[in-house]
């Protein structure tokens, strides 16, 4: 089918675009390159060298004969988006094009406002473009498990059966987001649900857990196709950050008690989940929610797993606890349902020592690129 991947230069978007192209879909990428500009702002970088998007897509065509078209622009600009939609007439729109870092959104007022405007207005523009140009297009939107927070009840997939004063209803699951970034995702979900109800748009909200890993079969085909890997205190997720800290001889820095538990999944499962959603679209008017994760781990669990592999590889490292820069429960109940994608055929790639070891070996090849002053957190929620 014809698929647009918005944010197709990013950590999740790039391997997704390659995977969908390899599977035979006709893929186009929209990207504003803002993530690369943020690296410059933060004086940070990907530990893996990444080629330009033009070089990446040219290499892909050289290797596979498949073209991935590029549209450089911002979803904030509706006229640009409308022209792309009219030219491509997509059957599915995969939306990764949002500011994705909780710490970035909490730097200050300016970054909070940027995150909310960029994410919420961009998604609103996509909804209107679908309504006006391709009303049968399936919106596949990357949400986050962080929308739910850490409630003291099991988290359902988007909805909750409620009985109140003798009456029953199926309502959106309560949201308790922990940052202005997560709040923007909540606003997105509400706007998409409204558009589905009002206009008959079909949409799948993928409430994704924390993604770990680096490469897929497609990004491994050539160094030019390599995916980015973030390690800093703003964009680096816990597992990848721990692996990189072990590679440079830094303590594995656990925030607070380390009992913060979240859903996790491998980047290979991310791209597969997008394919599953695209090939099994929501019905017109349906706002469907999938909890997109495969396993649950606490932060301390991850640190211990990395420590074990690092020591087996002869690295001298240890775990240390930092004062938590975030406002969050450090020990809590966490149970979540994730059956929808499994029922549609997802076969999870589980987190094993070998997975960690393979990432670590790649990191060791590029550890000279680590800017050490970026490894520790410098953004506080208060």
Per residue in 253-304, pLDDT tens? 999 999 999 999 999 999 999 999 999 999 999 999 999 999 999 999 999 9
**All structural domains of the chain:** 2-374 (3.40.50.720)
Q: What is the pLDDT of residue 375?
A: 93
* Active-site choice (71, 185, 204, 253): 185
Radius of gyration of the chain (CA): 20
**Is 144 one of the catalytic residues?**
yes
Q: What is the pLDDT of residue 137?
A: 98
Contact between 86 and 133 under an 8 Å Cβ cutoff? The reply is yes
Rounded to an integer, what distance in angstroms lies between the CA atom of residue 328 and that of residue 336?
Answer: 18
* Active-site choice (104, 180, 181, 231): 181
pLDDT in tens, 85-134: 999 999 999 999 999 999 999 999 999 999 999 999 999 999 999 999 99
Q: What is the pLDDT of residue 227?
A: 97
- Give 169-216 as a DSSP string: EEEEPP---SSHHHHHHHHHHHHHHHHHHHH--EEEEEEE-EEE----
Contact between 227 and 219 under an 8 Å Cβ cutoff? The reply is yes
pLDDT in tens, 4-25: 999 999 999 999 999 999 999 9
Tell me the percentage of the chain whose pLDDT exceeds 90. Answer: 99
The reported pTM is 0.97
Q: What is the pLDDT of residue 253?
A: 96
Closest CA to 92 of 14, 203, 227: 203
For residue 236, what pLDDT band results from cuts at 50, 70 and 90? very high
Q: What is the pLDDT of residue 191?
A: 98
* Active-site choice (144, 219, 237, 317): 144
Contact between 122 and 98 under an 8 Å Cβ cutoff? The reply is yes
User: Cα 149 from chain centroid?
Assistant: 16
pLDDT at 155 over 90: yes
Q: What is the pLDDT of residue 278?
A: 98
| Mean of the per-residue pLDDT values of the chain | 97
- Give 307-347 as a DSSP string: HHHHHHTT----EEEE--SS-S-SS----B--HHHHHTT--
Q: What is the pLDDT of residue 109?
A: 98
pLDDT at 214 over 90: no
For residue 33, what pLDDT band results from cuts at 50, 70 and 90? very high
**Is 115 one of the catalytic residues?**
no
Q: How confident is the model over 153-172, as a mean pLDDT?
A: 97
**Is 114 one of the catalytic residues?**
no
């Amino acid at each position: 089918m014809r698929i647009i991947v918005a944010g197709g230069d990013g950590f999740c978007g790039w391997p997704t675009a390659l995977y969908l192209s390899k599977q035979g879909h006709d893929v186009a990428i929209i990207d504003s390159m803002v993530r690369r500009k943020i690296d410059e702002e933060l004086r940070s970088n990907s530990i893996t060298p990444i080629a330009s998007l033009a070089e990446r897509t040219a290499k892909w065509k050289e290797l596979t004969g498949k073209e991935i078209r590029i549209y450089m622009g911002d979803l904030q600009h509706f006229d640009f988006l409308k022209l792309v939609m009219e030219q491509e007439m997509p059957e599915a729109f995969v939306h990764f094009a949002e500011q994705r870092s909780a710490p970035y959104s909490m730097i200050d007022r300016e970054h909070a406002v940027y995150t909310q405007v960029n994410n919420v207005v961009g998604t609103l523009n996509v909804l209107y473009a679908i309504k006006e140009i391709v009303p049968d297009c399936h919106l596949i939107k990357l949400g986050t498990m962080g929308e739910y927070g850490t409630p003291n009840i099991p988290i359902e997939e988007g909805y909750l059966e409620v009985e109140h004063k003798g009456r029953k209803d199926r309502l959106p699951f309560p949201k308790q987001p922990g940052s202005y970034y997560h709040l923007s995702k909540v606003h997105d979900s509400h706007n998409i649900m409204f558009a589905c109800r009002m206009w008959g748009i079909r949409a799948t909200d993928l409430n994704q857990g924390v993604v770990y890993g680096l490469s897929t079969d497609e990004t491994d085909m050539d160094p030019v196709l390599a995916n980015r890997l973030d390690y800093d205190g703003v964009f680096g997720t816990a597992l990848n950050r721990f692996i990189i800290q072990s590679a440079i001889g830094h303590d594995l820095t656990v925030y607070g008690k380390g009992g913060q538990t979240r859903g996790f999944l491998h980047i290979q499962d991310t791209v597969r989940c997008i394919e599953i959603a695209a090939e099994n679209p929501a019905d017109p008017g349906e706002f469907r929610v999938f909890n997109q994760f495969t396993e649950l781990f606490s932060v301390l669990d991850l640190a211990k797993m990395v420590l074990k592999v690092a020591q087996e590889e002869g690295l001298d490292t240890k775990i240390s606890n930092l004062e938590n820069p975030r406002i969050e429960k450090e020990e809590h109940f966490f149970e979540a349902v994730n059956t929808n994608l499994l029922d549609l055929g997802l076969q999870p790639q589980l987190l094993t020592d070998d997975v960690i070891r393979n990432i670590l070996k790649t990191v060791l090849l590029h550890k000279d690129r680590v800017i050490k002053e970026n490894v520790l957190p410098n953004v506080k929620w208060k």
